[in-house]
Structure 1
């Protein structure tokens, strides 16, 4: 069994707190070491484990205890383990605290003071892990709880050095991104990284380069979300997860989520379950877990959902094609952005020449679940060839735009192209308004596809889907279902009040069956459910289309 807290850690300095250090509870450390495979029954003196930011020794203490037990069990002197641990910390105070902790643990375990002193100084070093030359990739394990500190809060000179040393630290990254990168680079083939850290890098823009590094060169073996678990000695506003990543080709993945009931006893149960590779899923007090056959590829944001739902989404991602698909001519896009809606959008149909007035679909026209046009128009400066019109050919349009020229020229796009001062930000596609299309509002608490049979052009708060093959009512039924919504919910940013962003990048994550393989009764059921706005019926028909018997919450 895990010791809930273990021996007390030394007092933490305020300087350490300023450096983003948050210390991990003993039973969490023990769980990470077990999940990584750093156990005393192995010959640990032959292996090397790295702790990149040791702080007051939360990880190093249990590591040393396991190493000591291993040496005893394998009949080795402590000197054989001189290269078995490499721990770093930026602060000399933390280095001294950790060295004292290690000496106490080893002498309590019966090792002679002389041999203890010989190894401890080499094990724990002062240094900035991110800026230390580590040489060859020689680590069997990298474990720890990297510092939680925004990169912009680091002094400028050090921040520049971090960005230079760690290519994944783009944008407004957190320093922990660099610890992931350097830790992964230092692993031997087959080596393992085990961190407890904020999980935002899996979804935010600043984690894109790190996600690409993981999916191209490593195997995501385990993700254990611990948002509500009391994992640290201090209360922190973080969303932590334990991640186990190996330097090998991608294999199966354990995805698990915890509740606030997850503690040492539940951790033991979870650990025992992970050791049974034939077990696909488990639900127990404090956690739910599933085993996925693959991880989600690429650098785009990784999904978040219950383990059971992740497993189904992973299965669908492997077995079905994306919604946007060249083979069916299905395309996802966004309506026109003008940069000056007060000028370009009007309810006056006779404001300028008639062929310059383009009927415009607005979000409010879709509220009822059917298209109910509110009479708005786009003052359209584009011709059918996709070029700006010659204002000399349209005197009323020229007069109207000239009257509003000062406002239009303040836009960035007009300052960038002063000769094209009257263009909208987006070019108008002259074919789109006459095509049948599904329209989806950008922000909604539930997915909300609405059919435009043709005649309206979408405003930029509406996304559209057109297709050469799909019956849009059948596709609309699929999109109305909870299955399609689950794809978006897994990837999208959820706003206050539970509102989701149904943006093109998330809609493209939806996987759909081949329309030619959906049988006639199921197609009919999907179309009828769409027309009736019956989400439950759409979901039941979608289950048949995907070949599923149920869909987990």
Structure 2
């Protein structure tokens, strides 16, 4: 247990605790008494019980005293007392004298993120850190956390700090073994932590357990096990699970991990494989099956990103207004403003068929060609339109920041974009859905777009329709309930594509034809040839 008593309390199941400890290498055959293991948020002692049991067996086998081989912390006094009772019970049953003394010495009431500590003092940091959004933390403590933990940026979660402090406390070859939500691997607030890990540590093991009952009750926590070592990055074991994954499967995974020659496994309960290395930098890390990650890693090594200065290929998002009911209009309402203040607007509904079928919507446009707000006095009908909605417009955050610009849209209009051919992508979709605008419309904010100086957009559209591009987006994108994905610019930018000039004339023609026909299978067949992968390598 790692959360204060109340509605959010969850207990880690016994077999999951054993799984984490085995993966981290905290096993009784090793001389654990010569090492230091830390449980940073011990709660009721779910991890501590098994850690102490293993330490006891190891010390008996190696002829050691218990010493100070375990350190544990918790903020709440009743958690400290509960964990001390657990330790005392385990040691007493193991025949150790002074069990109560060890229990008192090993477990402290303290804030792990703020306590004074020796750097590089831990061989293991193991547990299930708390999940608490920063907005739920008192301001004075939050300020202290941010000062102590440089990775806790933006709308972070407190577990980010636990990762950082744990990692910084490791001795060389020391290990952090956590079961924790894996949103930090992909979300923006995890960027600093990802950068820290990529620069100084090795991701040895990562397994998603999103649908597995790892806690005593179902919680929407997106749990995953990560084993991170203070060492140069080497090969990484990656695994994905299904709901049927159970304790026996965990034992199989542990045995598989210990044998570097183990072949990949893919069955109805889990998939596991090895990558030559992990993903670099602070950009979001991909997720999914080992086959998908192996494909992504290979293509990352061989091809440039979709957004590329060399080809002037750029990914963007349409205009956000902050008040669509005022700025987006159609039909007879268009007569409310001067005709040259109406900008033809493409909407998500216009792209449903796979071709662009304009629905007649316009943006009531307050910007001139130079990117400046127009003088309302020069447009009496526009001025009257905005004045009718003045109260709603002035209440927007963007208007409060600049009251003199109260009638602006959140985003400025790039008038050059309207005439440019562009590929459009709806924000929410089960699969990539590129649609060509040959020019003339400006995208709404629920549409992402791609423009390029070097690509024939029909050819690029064929590549982006393919299963290869889909594998990229599925690996990086946040998936909503029901399988719908958010096709945000940051995920589209992660797609790798070949150089346009490297494609043969026949492949270009075939991709353009597949795009026109909306034929995903045909696009995928050409894409696998262009990328140099077999079609069986594309995860379904």
Partner of 1:9: none
Which 5+ residue runs of structure 2 have no aligned equivalent?
none
Partner of 1:305: 288
Alignment of 1:215-234 (within 5 A): 215-234=198-217
Normalised by the length of structure 1, the TM-score is: 0.87
Q: Indicate if the aligned counterparts of 1:20 and 1:148 stay in contact, CA closer than 8 A.
A: no
Partner of 2:539: 552
Partner of 2:70: 85
How many residues are matched?
A: 536
Match of residue 519, structure 1, among 504, 508, 514: 504
Partner of 2:520: 535
Alignment of 1:277 onto 2:275: no
Q: Deviations over 1:475-501 (max 9, x none)?
A: 000111122123223322333443322
Partner of 1:65: 53
SS of the residue aligned with 1:70?
helix
> Is the deviation greater in 135-144 or in 168-177?
168-177
Partner of 2:10: 22
Give the Cα separation in 2 of the matches to 1:24 and 1:443.
34
Give the Cα separation in 2 of the matches to 1:131 and 1:219.
25
Partner of 2:306: 323
Alignment of 1:104-503 (within 5 A): 104-111=89-96, 113-114=97-98, 116=99, 119-154=102-137, 158-279=141-262, 281-284=264-267, 286-344=269-327, 345-347=329-331, 354-390=339-375, 408-503=393-488
Q: Indicate if the aligned counterparts of 1:19 and 1:147 stay in contact, CA closer than 8 A.
A: no
Give the Cα separation in 1 of the matches to 2:379 and 2:7.
64
Q: In 2 relative to 1, CA 158–511 (structure 1 residues): closer, same or farther, beyond 3 Å?
A: same
Give the Cα separation in 2 of the matches to 1:385 and 1:469.
26
CA positional deviation for 1:403: 6.4
Q: Indicate if the aligned counterparts of 1:443 and 1:502 stay in contact, CA closer than 8 A.
A: yes
Q: Deviations over 1:56-109 (max 9, x none)?
A: 4332233233333333333x331xx41222122334444444444434434444
Q: Indicate if the aligned counterparts of 1:21 and 1:147 stay in contact, CA closer than 8 A.
A: no
Q: Deviations over 1:440-473 (max 9, x none)?
A: 2222232211112222222222222110110110
Q: In 2 relative to 1, CA 308–424 (structure 1 residues): closer, same or farther, beyond 3 Å?
A: same
CA positional deviation for 1:50: 0.9
SS of the residue aligned with 1:131?
coil
Q: Deviations over 1:247-277 (max 9, x none)?
A: 2232222111122332232112111111222
Q: Deviations over 1:363-400 (max 9, x none)?
A: 22222211222333334343333333455665665666
Q: In 2 relative to 1, CA 338–159 (structure 1 residues): closer, same or farther, beyond 3 Å?
A: closer
SS of the residue aligned with 1:427?
coil
Partner of 2:87: 102
Q: Indicate if the aligned counterparts of 2:88 and 2:102 stay in contact, CA closer than 8 A.
A: no
Which 5+ residue runs of structure 1 have no aligned equivalent?
1-11
Give the Cα separation in 2 of the matches to 1:358 and 1:153.
43
SS of the residue aligned with 1:32?
helix
Q: In 2 relative to 1, CA 90–364 (structure 1 residues): closer, same or farther, beyond 3 Å?
A: closer
Give the Cα separation in 2 of the matches to 1:464 and 1:88.
49
Q: Indicate if the aligned counterparts of 2:212 and 2:243 stay in contact, CA closer than 8 A.
A: yes
SS of the residue aligned with 2:60?
helix
Give the Cα separation in 1 of the matches to 2:192 and 2:513.
44
Give the Cα separation in 2 of the matches to 1:462 and 1:322.
20
Give the Cα separation in 1 of the matches to 2:440 and 2:45.
68
Give the Cα separation in 2 of the matches to 1:252 and 1:340.
50
Q: In 2 relative to 1, CA 100–406 (structure 1 residues): closer, same or farther, beyond 3 Å?
A: closer
Partner of 2:42: 54
Give the Cα separation in 1 of the matches to 2:136 and 2:366.
46
Q: In 2 relative to 1, CA 398–195 (structure 1 residues): closer, same or farther, beyond 3 Å?
A: closer
SS of the residue aligned with 1:142?
strand
Give the Cα separation in 1 of the matches to 2:297 and 2:519.
26
> Is the deviation greater in 535-544 or in 482-491?
482-491
CA positional deviation for 1:356: 4.0
Partner of 1:37: 25
Larger Rg: 1
SS of the residue aligned with 2:295?
helix
SS of the residue aligned with 1:316?
helix
